[in-house]
Structure 1
Amino acid sequence: MGRGKIEIKRIENSTNRQVTFSKRRNGIIKKAREISVLCDAQVSVVIFSSSGKMSEYCSPSTSLSKMLEKYQQNSGRRLWDAKHENLSAEIDRVKKENDNMQIELRHLKGEDLNSLNPKELIPIEEALQNGLTNVRDKQMDYLKMLKKNESLLEEENKRLSYILHHQQMAMNGNVRDMELGYHQKDRDYPSQMPMAFRVQPIQPNLQEDKQ
């Protein structure tokens, strides 16, 4: 019994669709591998599923980027515009500058100097001397700032000590005034006693003398 002819249209059942995709994808990649080996052809296949998952095959003798360049040259179609090419060139330029800066940094650290000639060592020496001068200037500025802050702190300390000293003198003066006031009150206390509490002189009993 022969196989029935399948109508070429979207499979509605998601499970059946996924199973069919896996089978057909593996079949296409298998055919691409076979034609690459049997016919010494350069083959590249890129497949994206409905979920965005990528599957690919490329002949061992080439790469996908080379295949795309060949396609662009032979078809006359540009797969990317000049903007992307300029971006790639800019990336290469930045990488090169970064590599040069890394080399210069190693030289400034005293590394990899054996490959340099005397003329190439002169600007490195000048850069180090300039850097040392700048470091010393920064150190002097920092020391001046410390001395200035120290002087300001000393003046503030003197001012606070002066205020504290006068406050203590004022407090001591108030204490003495309070003590003098208490003593003065003690002296004035008998004169301020009521008449009823004053000691009266003893009078003789005249009636007893008459008897």
Structure 2
Amino acid sequence: MGRGKIEIKKIENATNRQVTYSKRRNGLFKKAQELTVLCDAKVSLIMFSSTGKFHEFLSPNISTKGFFDLYQKTTGIDLWNSHYERMEENYRRLKEINKKLRREIRQRMGGDLNKHKKKVRNLEERHANLIMDLEAKLDGQDGIVETGGYYESTMGLLPNGASNLYALRLYQNQQPPLVLHDGTNDLRLA
């Protein structure tokens, strides 16, 4: 009596599946060894079970690296360079992600405030330079008043020969009236 044909499909019972894997793996390894001895062929067989176990057969007198080198030479495919290029691309991608995450962490921790402070300082310097340029252009006839924060917005105009300096002040929470300040009195204009 001969064996009957079996339907090739996944064995549902885990125990039966493992037993079948073991038996057929041993049969494949036996065939690979016979092929190596009878035909002087170089054979490499690599298997991973469904449980993740690794099994391999390699012809005697050849290493795994030697087998892959022979494979590359025969097929003309450079496995190591393509693998290296993939690793390099992955490295570049991860480096960019790391850069973005570091920037986001700095922003959340307030690290970019120093950059903001530098911008503010730069703007203050530019403002001071503009005032100096304006005063130089006015040639002593008119001037601008800078105070320590008493006025919200100040600008003084000196008519030719006048001895008083006037400043304009705007109030934040009200309809802004025009206020002239001559050092002693505030004059409100409607």
User: TM-score under structure 1 normalisation?
Assistant: 0.38
- Structure of greater Rg: 1
Where is the strand percentage greater, Structure 1 or Structure 2?
Answer: 2
Relative to the length of structure 2, the TM-score reads 0.42
Q: Name the structure with the higher helix share.
A: 1
